[in-house]
Structure 1
Amino acid sequence: MKDYFAVGKAIESRLAETMGQDFDLICSPFTANDPNVLKKLAVSAHINQLPSSFENSTGNGERQTETQKWQVSLVFQSPQTVQEEAALREKAGALCLKLRQALQGFKPFDAECKPLRAVGNQFYLTDDCRFRIFAFTFTSVCVI
């Protein structure tokens, strides 16, 4: 592994390639994000690294496996009308499935990382109820 954040960058590239037209913006730890712009977006994707876990080492501890966890969140503006509720339900359901299909089994970048595997999901509603967030956690085992 030559770049510690390569898995996150690969996820960002994969989303841009397979779903870029579905989002107003893809945000990651590597992009500049203007909060005033983010508040106006109808649908955006956000990539965040979660705490990793460290496993077996080889070569007298010179190399170690690390399970990197990456959260990919689909962020939607909350609906204001009954018609918007139905549209959100339909769009969110389709995009959540498309996201899982785009990333499940995706091999990030080199032979030293295993393909992505979905390990969890979570729904959030922001405190001000302005956004609905559908988050998925993916892991990839890497050799560091």
Structure 2
Amino acid sequence: MMRKLAFAGAALAMLPGAAMAQDVALDPIEAKQCAVWASMFSTQFEDEETRQAFIYAVNYFVGYYEGTTGQGIGDLEDEESIAAVETRFADFSQICGAHMQGFGTRMSAWGEWLSQFGSETAQDAK
């Protein structure tokens, strides 16, 4: 799943004008907009793994929003910022795709570290 998320983000980041993978810092409203974007994008794929990667991204962006603001994703009805996703979908594909790629890359690196740590721990236990 982590590789699929990184791959999906990488594919999106290759869109014309796409930014490099984003650092972790993300504006909370942008995180909410990216959750909407990823939800909309998840319906565009027949491949179940790719769809799941976008659903995973929805969870990431929702968690980021809620963790940063201390509010539930639906607590603030801000129709204007949500409507912006539909009217500027290509822009959000670049912005959110880059964040998604960055997250996928971080998760892949962490997964590799965990695997190595587990292998070393298993070796030490012998």
| TM-score, normalised with respect to structure 2 | 0.30
| TM-score, normalised with respect to structure 1 | 0.27
